[in-house]
Amino acid sequence: MTANAEARGRVAGEPGADAASAVARHPVEVHRGPTGWYAEALEDALAREVPVALVYNGISHAVMMATPEDLEDFALGFSLSEGLLAHPHECYDLTVREETRGLAVHLTIASQRLAELKARRRNLAGRTGCGLCGTEALEQAIRPIPVVQAPALADAAIQRALAGLADHQALQAATGATHGAAWCDGLGRIRLVREDVGRHNALDKLIGALSRQGGPDADGFALVSSRASYEMVHKSASAGIGALVAVSAATALAVEQARAADLLLVGFARPGRHLVYHRPAAAPPAARAHG
């Protein structure tokens, strides 16, 4: 058992073999109490975060701090959610390469998209799950948001997905340091999960994985283990996701954007309760099993 697992009071599941590069082992001192403190040496599992460069047709466009897992999904999802690509088929090739101080994802994209990229080219050093991805002007901060079709989502489906999320977060179970983004069907069954130290990155990975499978289903929804910020709403709508459920609160701008997109936005999803910040009139609740 790792120190993180013990601190959370339960045995943590280990990530799969394909996630081995996302976890680092490190010796730590565990201090116990409360009547008397003493130290014990254990090995802890730590989530890795490394610089990941996104390179388009040889142009280094962005450098993000991310967990080195599912980087193909991350690069494709970021490209779609940031409007660098309009469709997945505009990415002709994608490869991950090890560099001296990190990793680089090289994408070969359509010439029209490359011309648009050059027109607004910028380089950035992104912090963990933060920032507006290299925005240079105020006009770029809040981009137009597409209108989506929200599903008629039952409260019981939200609660079912919430109850099952932890069982699908192997990295979080091992390290206690990652966010999860899950795609759930209309009944609340979790179909796909991606994890990362950054909440935006986890959602981008999910968007990329969904795009490889033909896109999100009309009756499904995304569940994220974080707050619902403006950017999380915008990324969801850009990917055609009609409903976003967050474990924590929504921001005021996120609610405004959800209304503009007609996106179903739910926050503070906890066992037995959740808050509906915006429910489009066209998407009434299918049932109200939980308040």
- Where in the sequence numbering do the catalytic residues fall? 130
Q: How many CA atoms lie within 13 A of 34 on its CB side?
A: 0
34 prior amide bond cis, ω within 30: yes
Angle at 258 between CA 158 and CA 286, to 5 degrees: 35
Angle at 112 between CA 106 and CA 261, to 5 degrees: 90
Q: What are phi and psi of 36, to 5 degrees?
A: -150, 135
Contacts of 90 (CB under 8 A, 6+ apart): 109, 110, 113
Residues shown for the chain: 291
Strands 221-224 and 243-246: parallel
DSSP string computed for 242-266 = -EEEESSPBPHHHHHHHHHHT-EEE
Q: Which residue has the tokens 């779609």?
A: 80
Give the bridge partners for 196, in sequence order. 179
Q: Is 28 helix (H, G, I), strand (E, B) or coil?
A: strand
Q: What are phi and psi of 102, to 5 degrees?
A: 170, -150
**Closest among 49, 43, 35, 79 to 61, alpha carbons compared:** 79
Burial of 278 (0-12, 13-18, 19+ CB in 10 A): buried
Instruction: Characterize 185-205 residue by residue with b for buried, 16 or more Cβ atoms within 10 angstroms of its Cβ, and e for exposed.
Output: bbebebebbbbbbbbbbbbbb
Assess contact for 49 and 128: CB atoms under 8 A. Answer: yes
